[in-house]
Amino acid sequence: MANLKEIVCTPENPFGVEREMSDADQKLYDDLQKQFNDNAANRKLRQIKQLRSDRLKSTDWMSNSDVTMPDYIKTWRQTLRDLPQNNTTESQYDTLLEQNADGSLKNSVWKQPTE
Amino acid sequence: MSKTTIPTGGITADAIDATLIADDAISEEHLDATAITGHTALAEAPADTDEFLISDGGVLKRLDASYVGGSDFVRIATSRSSSNTTAVNFDDVFDGSVYEHYRVFGYVAGAVNAGGDMYWRTGGSSGSTYTSSNYVWVQDGRYIDNSGSAGDYHVGTFNDSKFRYATDMKVDNDSAYALFDFLISDPTTNQMSRSYITGTVSWQENTGFQQVTSSFGGRNDSNVNATGLRFQQESNSIAYHHIQIWGYKKS
């Protein structure tokens, strides 16, 4: 089967021409695709940890000595910290990362409680 | 002898030369625009020795194109398309005998949610992609999501197999993409043994649809002597792109 097509610009063709990928570049492309698909769960977990970290950082100021952190914030922060150990499968990651049409996260765990 | 009327066909081809016309006798009213429009268009940038006709303080002179609009900032290559392609290569675009710094800017939209990757190319017009794990890069910036929440953005990798300039890029046909502006120093390692990259990137992530802006810095931890660049998505194809490479002349 022929390799996929790519664009190449050179001094002779500064606006680019299409050509078939070399075997080496086709392998690179295939390997990246496989790696991307194989790493789906790790990638989602990394996103979850990033979202968790952002929310913990946004409430870190409440732990200052001159502030009393409300219990509901303490509980929420602990829930966030426990997310990786309480969610270990890709389908659980998908549930945590589910989005509304506007891109906002559906899962209530990401929303800071008010009481 | 004077004549007031010249019959049609009375002046044959090449019958009038400079010896028969008084100096300064041909003025603007005798010159038609077809003197320009009737000629074949050059349709490319003029060579340095191509000539223009100018009036220099009332005296007509010829002027070499090398003196007009000449710039030390030269566009080397451009690729622009709205059709899917697996990768965009720029081969043999780095010429260390002429340039030392290069500006690479443009945008890339992916066909699936993924990261945008940039590699060195080596070894000529059918060169190979340099994938050794010694790309070092770091990004530092901020994001804002669709709810208005903002936060810090810090990512980076030591000994990666490519530069990743955008992560978790959202895909939304032609409305979500990564925009970048990079300055690359000495990729052909003529004076310095390592090429560095600095620049800025802005893109929309898929997670939370957050817009990220970041500064980008990187180097390759070996003497690659790169001849060009390759742009690729972490997975699947590039859907839209417009990338330009410009060179800054060394002298």
* ipTM of this complex: 0.83
Report yes or no: B147 at the A interface, CB cutoff 8 Å: yes
**Whole-prediction pTM:** 0.80
pLDDT tens for B186-204 read 999 999 999 999 999 999 9
B47 vs B216 pLDDT, higher one? B216
Contacts within 8 Å (CB) and 24+ apart, A35-39: A36/B114, A36/B234, A36/B235, A37/B235
Which of A 33-52 lie inside 8 A of B, CB atoms? 33, 36-37, 43, 47, 50-51
Question: B209 and A102: CB-CB below 8 Å?
Answer: yes
Q: How many helices (H) and strands (E) does chain B have?
A: 1, 15
Question: A7 and B85: CB-CB below 8 Å?
Answer: yes
Cα angle B8, B32, B47 (rounded to 5 degrees) comes to: 125
Whether the predicted pLDDT of B72 surpasses 60: yes
CA distance B92 to B40: 31
Question: A11 and B92: CB-CB below 8 Å?
Answer: yes
Report yes or no: A69 at the B interface, CB cutoff 8 Å: no
CA distance B191 to B195: 10
**How many CA atoms are closer than 13 Å to the CA of A61, on its beta-carbon side?**
2
Q: What is the pLDDT along chain A (115 residues), one digit of tens a residue?
A: 789 999 999 999 999 999 999 999 999 999 989 999 999 999 999 999 989 998 999 899 998 989 899 999 999 999 999 999 999 999 999 999 999 988 889 999 999 999 8
3-state secondary structure B93-132: CCCCCCEEEEEEEEEEEECCCEEEEEEEEECCCCCEEECC
Within 8 A by CB and 6+ apart from B167, the residues are B115, B155, B205
pLDDT at B3: 60
Whether the predicted pLDDT of B69 surpasses 80: no
pLDDT tens for B83-94 read 999 999 999 999
Question: A8 and B146: CB-CB below 8 Å?
Answer: no
pLDDT tens for B146-192 read 878 888 899 999 999 999 999 999 998 899 999 999 999 999 999 99
* Chain B residues near residue A50 by CB distance under 8 angstroms: 207
* Chain B residues near residue A105 by CB distance under 8 angstroms: 208
pLDDT at A1: 78
Contact between residue B184 and residue B219 where contact means Cβ atoms under 8 Å apart: no
And the tokens for B178? 């990564």
- Mutation site for A-interface testing, chosen from B74, B75, B86, B175 by largest number of A Cβ within 10 Å: B86
* Chain A residues near residue B209 by CB distance under 8 angstroms: 99, 102-104
Name the minimum distance, in Å, from the CA of A97 to any CA of chain B. Answer: 7
Whether the predicted pLDDT of B1 surpasses 60: no
- Closest-CA residue of B relative to A104 is B208
